[in-house]
Chain A
Amino acid sequence: SSELTQDPAVSVALGQTVRITCQGDSLRGYYASWYQQKPGQAPVLVIYGENNRPSGIPDRFSGSSSGNTASLTITGAQAEDEADYYCNSRDSSGNHLRAVFGGGTQLTVL
């Protein structure tokens, strides 16, 4: 299967830790990449590979993977982390020809 499944919405208290998950068969062979999108803006890559952050992404963002599940963890969530988060991978069947996104998780920081 090429689908990636995310919880539609998650909330976290300011300063606390939150985990956003992404499930899919392709994640048994692919690291997920994670994107943050704020209203009216283009997505921004926050995690890629095993657990890599692009330049400028705070170290409170981290990624992990186990079996068919990838996770994005924000340790000490800040108000500016409130956004939609999308996971992304490639369909691991059929020669990896197609990229796929999860449905997105809306993160609310309380």
Chain B
Amino acid sequence: QLQLQQWGAGLLKPSETLSLTCAVYGGSFSGYYWSWIRQPPGKGLEWIGEINHSGSTNYNPSLKSRVTISIHTSKNQFSLKLSSVTAADTAVYYCARGQRGSYVYYYYYYMDVWGKGTTVTVSS
């Protein structure tokens, strides 16, 4: 049973860099898209970005200038860095495994395994 375990600093000051890591246990690292998603208090889900086992990344354009997602295949881990944080970056951050593909006429995409979430608060 694949599990994702995530960790990182939970309290940051404005202008600092958020850093989170997600470890993958019990499954293959290749063939998937490893994603980060966040959820501000009382709000909906926001996709931050993803990386595949080859290190190819896609980012949400609204965060792209501040986000770096990296992969550490030897450790089965991937990481998120978000620079210059402000109070607007206060959220629960989740890591997840994504799968993409296509049928005859349709594409599909879903995230089937999620970490438990890390609460990150930005406050001076």
Contact = CB atoms under 8 A, between A and B. Distances in A.
A87 to B, nearest CB: 10
Contacts of B44: 86, 101-104
Contacts, number: 75
Contacts of A65: 106
B111 to A, nearest CB: 7
B94 to A, nearest CB: 6
B115 interface: yes
A45 B45 contact: no
Interface in A68-95: 86, 88-90, 92
Interface in B64-106: 94, 98, 100, 103, 106
A65 B103 CA distance: 14
Interface residues of B, number: 25
A88 B109 contact: yes
A38 interface: no
B106 A45 contact: no
B108 A48 contact: yes
Interface string B8-40: 000000000000000000000000000101000
Contacts of A54: 112
A42 B109 contact: no
